[in-house]
Amino acid sequence: MKTDETNPNDWFLLTRERLDAADAVRNACGACNSSVELLQESVERYLKGFLIGKGWPLQRIHNLSTLLDAVIQRDSRFKSFADLCEGLTAQFWEQHYPGGDLGEVGADYDDLRQQVDKMIAMILAAFPTVGPSASGA
């Protein structure tokens, strides 16, 4: 199957696997650097999928707060996820390169994960026909 970066369904398809991996790492190793990074990448891709579906030209950025600001311009209900995006981005950068303080990375993983589920539900509700890629098999 060939994916298309302009198809929100492809973003949602690929990010679901990333989210499942975050949960698997969490279950196997506890809340750790890898589970936080996978969770951050999943949220990033869900936000990008939402934005792509609303006509946004892809920007290769990783700051969830920046992406959320773009989402809020299109749907103000997403304002409630500002703390989630700020906190998850901060934890992502703490563990992404040596030199960060790892003491709190993942400490609130379960709470973050619950908030992520709420955000995903809102994103997917904006695209009721989410399914297999239109460009794929």
69-114 confidence digits (pLDDT tens): 999 999 999 999 999 999 999 888 878 877 877 778 778 899 999 9
Q: What is the pLDDT of residues 1-54, one digit of tens each?
A: 899 999 999 999 989 999 999 999 999 998 888 899 999 999 999 999 999 999
Query: How far is Cα of residue 16 from the mean position of the Cα atoms in its chain?
Result: 9
Q: How many CB atoms lie within 10 A of CB 83?
A: 11
Rg (CA), the chain: 15
Q: Do 66 and 43 form a contact (C-beta atoms < 8 A)? A: no
CA distance 73 to 51: 10
Q: How confident is the model at residue 131 (pLDDT cuts 50, 70, 90)?
A: low
- The reported pTM is 0.89
Residue type at 131 in one-letter notation: G
Most distant pair of Cα atoms in the chain: their distance: 45
